[in-house]
Amino acid sequence: MKLLVSNDDGIFALGIRTLANVLAKAGHDVTVVCPDQERSATGHSLTLHHPIRAEIVDSPMFHPEVQAWSCSGTPSDCVKLALSALLDSPPDLVLSGINHGSNLGTDVLYSGTVSAAMEGVMEGIPSIAFSLTSYTAREFQVAATFATNLLLKLVQQPLPQPMLLNINIPAVESKEIAGVMITRQGIRRYFDVFEKRVDPRGKTYYWLAGEAIEEIDQPNNSQLPESIITDVQAIRQNYISVTPLQYNLTSAEGIYSLQNWGFEKL
């Protein structure tokens, strides 16, 4: 398969090097286009007010068959640029990751990793975001192996329509993985803390800190069967979570509710 791979951790992040190299060894045609530095939590932001630069990366850290580009833009910029200017033809899939840290629940609204993959879906290309649920783990092989096996399955059974698969892999050994679960998006709230600090010139600045509050009791408002648990719940149980996402955020319930407001009378 022809694959475009991006991320938000930067071109030399271990996760993307592991993913790209494993897929190249498996015989896939892999092109990497990534930010030249870490751009985590940038969401779907685009660079509009200054130029975007891209340079070919000649590094032994990548498999010889991988063509890698370093881009000065955001993760979404990288995918847009690749699809519009760097690739000679559209890829079969857009992949993002393997991210260093989870992208669960409402994290997807902030995630540069998920946004890079969503850019592919917006162009009509099926896309997958891969995240390892640890910021400190250095072993990405389990996640990369799962990605390789998943692509084999997609060759035999393609997705029915372009969609984003948001995949989170527990940061444990292969033998500790409980299995794979198709999940719905949960809610992951954060207790935000802005630390007030003073720089060497005496000026005040703020640093966002705080902790994630894991989902405790998320009701199923999605009209899906109760057997479909959330991505957060699946990861707690050491399952790989696979959550199909779309970019259409329209609330059907909201449509029906607002139709009763009688706006036509105003």
Domain presence at residue 61: yes
The residue among 39, 125, 47 whose CA lies nearest residue 81 is: 47
d(CA 29, CA 80): 19
Sheet holding 93-100, edge to edge: 54-57, 67-71, 29-35, 2-6, 93-100, 127-132, 164-169, 239-245, 179-182
> Of 9-13, 84-88, 193-197, which gets the smallest average pLDDT?
193-197
Which residue range is the domain that position 22 belongs to? 2-184+226-255
Kindly report the CATH number assigned to the domain that includes residue 11: 3.40.1210.10
Domain presence at residue 117: yes
Domain presence at residue 265: no
3-state secondary structure 6-71: ECCCCCCCHHHHHHHHHHHHCCCEEEEEEECCCCCCCCCCCCCCCCCCEEEECCCCCCCCCEEEEE
> Of 51-55, 77-81, 205-209, which gets the smallest average pLDDT?
205-209
Angle at 143 between CA 94 and CA 29, to 5 degrees: 40
**Structural domains in the chain (count):** 1
At residue 266 the predicted structure's pLDDT band, cuts being 50, 70 and 90, is low
- What does the pLDDT look like over 208-232, one tens digit per residue? 876 666 665 456 666 778 789 999 9
Cβ neighbourhood burial of 227 (10 Å; 0-12, 13-18, 19+): exposed
Domain presence at residue 195: no
Domain presence at residue 213: no
At residue 252 the predicted structure's pLDDT band, cuts being 50, 70 and 90, is confident
> Averaged over 90-110, what is the pLDDT?
95
- The model's pTM is 0.92
CB 140 within 8 Å of CB 202:
no
For 228, residues 6+ apart whose C-beta sits below 8 A from its C-beta are 182, 183, 184, 220, 222
Domain presence at residue 93: yes
pLDDT at 186 over 70: yes
Look at residue 187 in the predicted model and tell me its pLDDT.
85
Domain presence at residue 48: yes
Look at residue 265 in the predicted model and tell me its pLDDT.
60
Tokens for 223? Answer: 């009209």
**Number of CB atoms found within 10 A of residue 145's CB:** 15
Angle at 110 between CA 115 and CA 87, to 5 degrees: 15
Look at residue 169 in the predicted model and tell me its pLDDT.
98
Domain presence at residue 194: no
Instruction: Output phi, psi for 167, to 5 deg.
Output: -115, 125
